[in-house]
Amino acid sequence: MDGGFTKYFYIALMFIVAFIAMYNHITSAIGFGLVFAVQALYTLFFLFDVLKDYARGFKSLTLTFPKNPLVENNSVSIPLYWVICPGLILQFAASLFTVLSTDFLHKKYNSIRLSRNATWNLDLYKWMFILATFALMVLTYSYMCDFRDTISSVKFSGSYKSLLIAMFFMSIILPVINVINAHSLSKILVTTTDG
């Protein structure tokens, strides 16, 4: 997979443009639509790359623990795609909920009008979406570029392994919180159309 990360680099550039548009109050509705479109591309490209990759099981983060008489194996290997794929799918679902909500509000009020709590939730969603996207991009880079030939994560430096572990946890926790937050924001549609 030489040059396999190049398309993800361009996706990262598109994310930057979408995030800038999302934070501008004039182009925020367009920004959320761009985030959804770029997230859809990112999800599809990575899922196809994982399906084409026959060595995906070997691309794993190996954590080694001190020997213990109670445990036979002193290492745990977690394949990267086990974390990246669910994270991407959850980010896609969160962006879908958010684009539907913001599009509805933009069509109804010609801007995104929210209560103070909902505005705080939307701002929190934006920051967590950016952090989760960054974590997923770092893991995607590691998946596409770090595992060449027979190199495993055992040979990674301790600081790089720590960075990957931090990105693992961010990629697990933040997309779940994003979906919950985006779902609560999408309830605005129900409360706005009820009365």
DSSP 90-130: HHHHHHHHHHHHHHHHHHHHSS----HHHHHHHHHHHHHHH
123/67 Cα distance (integer angstroms): 45
User: Six-digit token pair at 16?
Assistant: 């930057």
Angle between helices 81-109 and 158-194 (to 10 degrees): 30
User: Contact at 8 Å (CB) between 131 and 91?
Assistant: no
185/122 Cα distance (integer angstroms): 7
Q: For the chain of 195 residues, list the mean pLDDT of each consecutive stretch of 10.
A: 77 94 83 92 94 84 76 78 92 87 69 69 86 94 77 71 90 92 72 50
Res 117: pLDDT: 73
Domain edges within the chain: 6-189
Q: What is the gyration radius of the CA atoms in the chain, in angstroms?
A: 19
User: Contact at 8 Å (CB) between 23 and 31?
Assistant: yes
Res 194: pLDDT: 47
Reduced to 3 states, what is the DSSP secondary structure of residue 158? helix
Res 167: pLDDT: 92
Containing 79, the helix (H) or strand (E) segment is strand 75-79
Res 38: pLDDT: 95
46/129 Cα distance (integer angstroms): 18
Res 151: pLDDT: 58
